Structure 1
Amino acid sequence: MSRPSWLHPTLSLFTCAALLAPAVQSAHAAPKTAPAPIEAAAPKLVVVMVIDGLPAEQLQRYRGQFGQGGLRRLMEQGASFTNAHQAHGVTVTAIGHTAVLTGAYPYRHGIIGNNWIDGNGKLVYCTEDARHHYIGEETEEHDGTSPAKLRVDTLGDQLRYASGNRSKVVTVSGKDRGAILLAGKTGTAYMYMDKTGDFASSTYYMQQHPAWVERFKAAKPQDRYYAKSWKPLLPDAAYADDAPDPAPSLKSPNRFPFTFYSESGQPAADYYGRLKTSPAVDELTLEFARAAVEGENLGSNASGATDLLGISLSGHDYVNHAYGPESRMSHDHLQQIDRRIADFFNYLDKRIGMDNVLVVLTADHGFANTAEFSQGRHMDATRIDPKPLRARLEAALAERFRVAGLVKNAYLPEIYLDYAAIERNKLARRDVEDAAARFLLTQPGIADVFTRSQLEQGVAARSRVGTLMQRAWNRELSGDLMVVTAPYTSFGSGDSGATHGTPYNYDSNVPLLMMGGRWIRPGVQAQYTEVVDIAPTLAQILHLRPPAAAEGRVLTEALR
């Protein structure tokens, strides 16, 4: 998608007037010079917050119910970009987090999904790295332990470089990919451990935790929720416009109150897992962020260097997946997040002073409504089971070319063809690609298919959706077919819950809020904006070289 730009024809008139002005001044009048603007000191601390899975429309829809100190404070005292987008076609957590501080798209930064199929046909995870393990925690095969698969640098890396490593970059998240991809190559990431409820780093960053982390772990704050319940924050009337609660099942009541428990009768792995689909994981994340501020002395750097704190709040994504963004649970969860953010800002105000802090808040992706909710609104919404779709495609290609096994792998929206088999059977690659695309387009719920040949030649970028898919496709890592569902339709074999991942507005349109009175001009900005604009804008404020692969623009309209 080309970025909007306008040429102001009046600019030349003002320029001419400025050039002619000295000629009409009195010969005896001393020319007046405007005083040089006083440049604001650099922030002591930059806080970058990502609310996982928060659609922009939820921020607007529920804004009247927010308290005074959290999201409302950001919206009223900061710049609010209401038309901001994750501007790539595969809107998932890993890609969205990577965009925030690299300013880059997947075709360049190399994080093409949460998972993908590598050249050996093996499923890989975006932040896995067998060379490293969690500190003091069990590490499984595909656990995220390093940014090895990230091919570019971040704003935090530039900050560390420019300060001679005096600036500290610390990130924390309920998900390993949320922390690691914000931390970049030289920051330090901490992530929530599903089995213990602790936060831990990995041996990529250090060999043992600092004392402040061990103190935090020893206090076991995650155990205080045991046998307690998540209940709605607001009166029942506040949720009147939400979708009805789903029917209860044998496995889960799927309705308030949600009690935190373990089958064993005491805090255990199943209990710590339940905390993730609730406000508890976000409260714990922000508490750990406070401990990091104090333990690392963030925002009080003796050298005067700016520090960066990245916080990714993961709970909203889990809640939306389970119940849908139209649910009372999602509505209440956002209200709970708002109050916890307010508490965190109050803490920063007392410790550092918010006039010394620059805050950015965004999301990694939005969310589609559940298929059932959309169907109730007469939308052609459905779920497409990937396995039967692949089987039908394989059968269609075998019938067309009289060769079996032309589909090597599939991890939708990516499909990988067996080019070796195509060559052995003296078939033309493009013929097989085109035949596969034509067949897929006959399948219910499929709107677009882009082939490797189209993507290599750049011809996919002739439409908005094509441009977003082109940005999401990496020549070395991605599949040979990129498949796009119809609006409100998703890939999945389940029969409940909601998801994301498409190039449509409900998945791409996310909040973008920036607050910092010395550097940011408050007000609503309605023009088209991208999340990749964050890194260049922060680089401008901090007088840094932008990250190498950044393609966003500086949001000058919001700068003082």
Structure 2
Amino acid sequence: MQKKNQLLLVVLCLILFGTLNGFGQKNQKNNENTNLKTSPKLVVGIVVDQMRYDYLTRFWNHFDEGGFKRLVNEGFNCKNNHFNYAPTSTGPGHTSVYTGAAPATHGVIGNNWYDKEAGISVYCASDDRYTSVGTASEAGKMSPHRMNVTTITDELRLHTQMRGKTVAVALKDRGAVLPGGHTANAAYWFHGADEGDWITSTYYMQELPKWVNDFNASDAVEKYKKPWNTAKVINTYLESGSDNNTYEGLFETEKTPTFPHSTPNLLDKKKDFEIIKYTPYGNRITTDFALAAIEGEDLGKDEATDFLAISYSSTDYIGHKFGVNSKEVQDTYIQLDVDLQNLLNTLDRKVGKDEYTVFLTADHGAIDVPAYLSDQKIPAGYFVYDSIKPKFNAFLQYKFGTANVVKNFSNYQFFLDHKVIKNMDIEVAKVQETIANELLNYKGIDRVYTGHQMMQNNYTKGIPYILQNGYNQKRSGDVLVVLKPGVISYPRTGSTHGSPQIYDTHVPLLFYGKGIRKGSMVNRTEIPDIAPTIATLLGIAFPNGTTGEPIAEVLE
């Protein structure tokens, strides 16, 4: 009897386990179905070119509720977000955001770089195999072929069997081509010159769609041929320096770098729409075109998730010309806040308030103008390679019998001539080390690393870690130079970027919309974390070179 009871108990347990297991599987299936159903209809990726994190906090009191503040207050703010590599520039920045990887993996090691095999400098997005669409110029000869891996936009296209659309827009060609990935339906960029039109490449299409032709034929650009004045009373711009100072560049025909800027005079004189890029109107026309794309491409209208990649480029042009501490930069972000509000409100109406997801970040930061820092008694300065070149070449001649061991210096990297070195019967690693030790003697240089070190070590923190993530074994140079904090190789007016220093790596990362928690975090996140986070939200494959990790705190 006891055995019979034990057997009955076992049978009952098995039945109960099976029932619970079946219930669990059913729940799991329901959860999976729920996740699939909750994918947003549209993902909007926003990259603000040259946006430092502190712009968000410095200019906060000037923002309205519907732009930056809406993203922060109703979304998720990663406050300690960094690029984990150098060089920190536009091409690598956009690529890393969308690939979930650093240049060591995706291969875009700069805006331009020295091609060791071809012996020439190449541009990250150029491709002579394709021709322009929308202009007779060569400005459209572009493609993403130098990007070695897939993007989040590629993976979304693959996941939806190409039913989900990807459209990328930016003033800069690389700001559209690289985020769009290899499979974009379209990437559009602004061709200034004497045309002022949005164009593309035969990589994507043979002719512009009607909505783009209609946009180009409208007065969309002409209406921004007006002086640039501040959006608010300039005396309230207490978060930036004086309007008239020696740290800022000048527009042609202007005697002082002060408001209002007479941009129409420059347009009329030169017949050159490039000037629009150097004003907030460049961001505004980008927004106008992005909104036209939402309408013209029916983005977010069906069950297959679409992707709109927007890059705001004028912030970079203005930062380079006027500098981090300028009234012009402050006004640009105040006006960009209005653009974001317009974009979000339109998405609410066209797609649905709870039907889209947005992320906003930058492609790099920027340094304060070193001349300004020096005047504030902060260590800073300028490095001019041409000033050390005679002494450096003399050293090479003395040590190796020829200065021709160096073929190129670009992106703070020396490229050596391996054929010359081979004929000298010296190990390349030894030449790299000898040159590195010499360069440490030059003013403005803080550290020097060799390609051999990058390949032999596994760095996990600090400057070496950042350099190694940017070091591509097939494309990068032999000797890597790091300038001292506050030192740049640039003219004495305006700001720049490109270094592994924290002012170039610390940028915003905001998430908002469907599937996103409200909140913030101060734990470190890195740019390659963005793509896998969005992939996790969408339930799709990570880009195939992904090295980042999903940010779990962001997702509901």
Secondary structure of the structure 2 residue equivalent to 1:309: strand
Note if 1:528 corresponds to 2:548.
no
Pairing 1:395-410 to 2, within 5 Å after superposition: 395-410=394-409
Q: What is the deviation of 1:273?
A: 1.1
Secondary structure at 1:355's aligned position in 2? coil
Q: CA deviation at 1:166?
A: 0.4
Where does residue 355 of structure 1 map in the other structure?
354
1:292 aligns with 2:289: no
Residue number in structure 1 paired with 2:40: 43
Question: Using the alignment, how far apart are the partners of 2:140 and 2:468 within structure 1?
Answer: 28
* SS of equivalent to 1:230: coil
Hey, what does 1:281 align to over in structure 2?
A: 282
| Partner in structure 1 of residue 17 of structure 2 | none
Summarize the alignment of residues 268-347 of structure 1 with structure 2, pairs less than 5 Å apart: 268-269=271-272, 272-301=273-302, 304-347=303-346
1:27-53 residue CA offsets vs partner (Å, 9 max, x unmatched) = xxx99x998765461101100000000
Counterpart-to-counterpart distance in 2, 1:85 and 1:264: 38
2:142 corresponds in structure 1 to 145
In structure 2, the partner of 1:8 is none
Equivalent-residue separation in structure 2 for 1:553 and 1:241 (angstroms): 35
Please list the CA deviations of residues 168-210 of structure 1 after superposition, one character each: whole Å capped at 9, or x if unmatched: 0000001000000100000121001021221111110000011
Deviation at 1:433, TM superposition (A): 1.1
Encode CA deviations 1:444-485: one digit per residue, 9 max, x unaligned.
1111111111112125x2651001101101111111111111
Which residue matches 2:365?
Answer: 366
Alignment-derived partner of residue 187 in structure 2 = 189
Q: Displacement of 1:524 after TM fit?
A: 1.4
Give the match for residue 435 of structure 2.
Answer: 436
Partner of 2:259: 256
Distance 2:173 2:234 in 1: 35
Deviation at 1:264, TM superposition (A): 7.4
Task: Measure the CA separation in 2 of the matches of 1:507 and 1:236.
Answer: 28
Partner of 1:219: 218
Identity among equivalent positions (%) equals 34
- Determine helix, strand or coil for the equivalent of 2:359: strand
Q: Which letter does structure 1 place at the counterpart of 2:278?
A: T
User: For residues 392 and 529 of structure 1, what CA distance do their matches in structure 2 show?
Assistant: 42
Counterpart pick for 1:154 among 147, 151, 155? 151
Structure 1 residue 409 displacement after superposition: 1.1
List aligned pairs for 1:382-397, cutoff 5 A: 382-397=381-396
Question: Could you tell me which residue of structure 2 aligns to residue 426 of structure 1?
Answer: 425
Farther-moved stretch of structure 1 (122-131 vs 239-248): 239-248
**Range moving further from structure 2, 461-470 or 240-249:** 240-249
Structure 2 unmatched ranges of 5 or more = 1-12, 14-19
Among 534, 539, 546, the alignment partner of 2:535 is 539
Deviation at 1:90, TM superposition (A): 1.0
- For the residue of structure 2 that corresponds to 1:449, the secondary structure is strand
Tell me by how many angstroms 1:544 deviates: 0.2
Which residue identity is paired with 2:91?
A
Aligned counterparts of 2:539 and 2:187: Cα–Cα separation in 1? 24
Residues in 2 aligned to 1:135 and 1:236: alpha-carbon distance in whole angstroms: 41
Matched, 1:81 2:78: yes
Counterpart of 2:66 in structure 1 is 69
Q: Aligned residue for 2:8?
A: none
Partner of 2:268, secondary structure, is coil
Letter of the structure 2 residue corresponding to residue 543 of structure 1: G
Instruction: Report the 3-state secondary structure (helix = DSSP H, G, I; strand = E; otherwise coil) of the residue aligned with 2:188.
Output: strand
Aligned residue in 2 for 1:481: 479
Q: Residue 282 of structure 2 aligns to which amino acid in structure 1?
A: V
Q: Does 1:417 align with 2:420?
A: no
Matches within 5 A, 1:222-237: 222-226=221-225, 228-237=226-235
CA contact (8 A) 2:319 2:496 kept: yes
User: What SS does structure 2 have at the residue aligned with 1:326?
Assistant: coil
1:14 is matched with none
What is aligned with 1:495?
A: 492
Aligned to 1:26: none
Mapped partners of 2:115, 2:140: distance in 1? 16
Give the aligned residue type for 2:292: A
Once the 2 structures are TM-superposed, how far is the Cα of residue 244 of structure 1 from its aligned partner? 1.9
Distance, in Å, in 1 between the alignment partners of 2:81 and 2:294 is 29
Candidates 493, 506, 509, aligned match of 1:509: 506
Distance (whole Å) between structure 2 residues aligned to residue 359 and residue 525 of structure 1: 18
Residue of structure 2 equivalent to 1:111: 108
Residue type matched to 2:441 in 1? T
Q: Deviations over 1:226-280 (max 9, x none)?
A: 2x211111223321241223248674331111122255737822xx111111111
1:554 lines up with 2:554 in the alignment:
no
**Number of aligned pairs?**
522
| Deviation at residue 342 of structure 1 after TM alignment | 0.3
User: Which amino acid in the other structure matches residue 268 of structure 1?
Assistant: K
Contact 1:144 1:176 in 2 (8 A): no
Inter-partner Cα distance in structure 1 for 2:353 and 2:453: 49
1:397–1:435: 8 Å Cα contact kept in structure 2? no
Cα separation, 2, equivalents of 1:315 and 1:50: 11
Could you tell me how far apart the structure 1 residues matched to 2:460 and 2:285 are? Answer: 45
Secondary structure of the 1:447 match is: strand
CA deviations over 1:265-298 (Å, ceiling 9, x no partner): 37822xx111111111111111111111111100
CA separation of 1:138 and 1:325: change in aligned 2, threshold 3 A? farther
- Residue type of the alignment partner of 1:72: K
Q: What residue ranges of structure 1 are gaps of 5+ in the alignment?
A: 1-22, 24-29
SS in 2 for 1:190: strand
Q: Is the 8 A contact 1:127 1:143 kept in 2?
A: no
Structure 1 residues 263 and 378: CA distance shift in structure 2, 3 A = closer
Distance apart, 1:143 and its partner CA: 6.4
Q: Distance in 2 between matches of 1:389 and 1:216?
A: 50
**CA pair 139-448 structure 1, distance change in 2 beyond 3 A:** farther
Query: Is the CA contact 1:394–1:406 (under 8 Å) kept in the aligned structure 2?
Result: no
- Bigger mean CA deviation after superposition, 393-402 or 149-158: 393-402
